[in-house]
Amino acid sequence: MTTTDKESHVTTGATVWLTGLPSAGKTTIAYELAGRLREEGHLVEVLDGDEIREFISAGLGFSREDRHTNVQRIGFLAELLARNGVKALVPVIAPYADSREAVRGRHQESGAAYLEIHVATPVEVCSVRDVKGLYAKQAAGELSGLTGVDDPYEAPETPDLRIESQDQTVQESAAALHALLTERGLA
């Protein structure tokens, strides 16, 4: 690596947690932002909730306790990455405020930056998008415990940013998030 390469490599880490209902657009926005940040020289990892459940939280169910455990595992991983100069983009529902606050606390203790982004897409819009067919399965009685329908979702009261994804493009949503990171000295 040349001196120029080292100088152009950005190492300020942060966790950007995108919370919201299923099919709100969290993962799509995270990957759009990740591409932009990588082009700027940032180290970026997207901690996709489905991948985490498959590889790190296999065996956990969807009880409140299991959801809390899942969020804490993801929070630990994100904080570890952020503390080491990586932008950890976390598009994970994390339905309970106390679970998200515990993750924020872990970041505060280590000094790692943490931003909570609420992708505040209404359930009516999410159910039409229905990326994974979860709303259709719930409506057909094949699935119960769907966050925001028949299982609680505690929306953040004071997120660092609220994105109304139904009112803007993915690119506009990612740009708003990038602007926040820039404002906070993280991009």
Residue 123 in contact with residue 148, Cβ under 8 Å?
yes
Low-confidence ranges of the chain (pLDDT < 70): 1-11
Q: What is the pLDDT of residue 3?
A: 41
Q: Could you tell me the maximum CA-CA distance found in the chain, to the nearest angstrom?
A: 60
Q: E-assigned strands of 11-152?
A: 14-19, 43-46, 86-91, 113-119
Taking residue 79's Cβ as centre, other Cβ atoms within 10 Å add up to 23
pTM above 0.75, yes or no: yes
**CA pseudo-torsion sign 21, 66, 56, 145:** negative
Residue 146 in contact with residue 43, Cβ under 8 Å?
no
Q: What is the pLDDT of residue 7?
A: 46
Q: What is the pLDDT of residue 2?
A: 42
Mean pLDDT score of the chain, rounded to an integer?
Answer: 92
Q: What is the pLDDT of residue 33?
A: 98
Q: What is the pLDDT of residue 14?
A: 98
Q: What is the pLDDT of residue 10?
A: 55
